[in-house]
Amino acid sequence: MASKHSSERLIQQLQHQGINNAMVLEVLRTTPRHLFIDEALSSHAYTNHALPIGYGQTISQPYIVARMTEALLEQGNLDKVLEIGTGCGYQTAILAQLVPQVYSVERIKNLLTKAHDRLTSLGLDNIHFHYSDGHWGWAENAPYQGIIVTAAPASVPEALLEQLAVGGYLIIPVGAQNSYQVLLKIIRTRRNHYEQYTLDEVSFVPLCQGIS
């Protein structure tokens, strides 16, 4: 069981770090992060750290999940959100409790299957899964008012810019692995016009090519 005490402490830390969207904090407080990681690591589930989930991948740090979600919600009118990098499905679960429809793309089949089973057993039925290379987005369901990318490409994939609705927000880390990466918020203000803001300095696993 999630320790109520440790999840409360985590939420206090996030507030100290500047997260102040009450809905985001509440969803992070009530989502059982220990169910998304290996049992051997469960004592670390409510610490503010990224943790390994196998295949060389990680579950994102709660602060980063909160920061990205908060930035996305500023869009204010999210109907469909595209997530690139399902991983263990933790960020997906947070999004699915805050927006009507979540479309999530993952390139590692085993991670996708496990995330699908986990999220289904949590009763989240507004998530659509796609086994693919997220560099291509998920064109069939575009446009999206929000796109969130949880692995870092060297530069912003063109398909994601194209699949963003006018008025939509793209939250994406960009930069080489083990090097300087920044978290960007890109707003499609008009059909052919995008505005870019830097939110944070971050450290993500790379957005890889192809499927596995």
Subset of residues 106 to 145 that bind ligand SAH, contact rule: CB under 6 A: 106-108, 111, 133-135
Residue 193: count of CB within 10 angstroms of its CB: 9
Provide the token pair at 34: 């220990």
Annotated active-site residue 60? The verdict is yes
Site string for ligand SAH, 34-73 (x = CB under 6 A): -------------------x---xxxx-------------
Site for ligand SAH (CB under 6 A): which residue of 81, 99, 127, 151?
151
- Which of 153, 1, 171 is CA-nearest to residue 75? 171
If one asks whether residue 99 binds ligand SAH (CB under 6 A), the answer comes out as no
Q: Which residues face 110 on adjacent strands?
A: none
- Which of 57, 39, 59 is CA-nearest to residue 48? 59
Q: Tell me, by CB under 6 A, how many residues bind ligand SAH.
A: 24
Provide the token pair at 19: 């997260």
Q: What phi and psi values does residue 27 have, to the nearest 5 degrees?
A: -70, -40
If one asks whether residue 208 binds ligand SAH (CB under 6 A), the answer comes out as yes
Provide the token pair at 46: 């409510």
Taking the least distance from each CB to ligand SAH, the nearer of 141 and 167 is 141
Catalytic residues: 60
Sites of contact with ligand SAH (CB under 6 A): 53, 57-60, 84-85, 87-88, 90-91, 105-108, 111, 133-135, 150-151, 205, 207-208
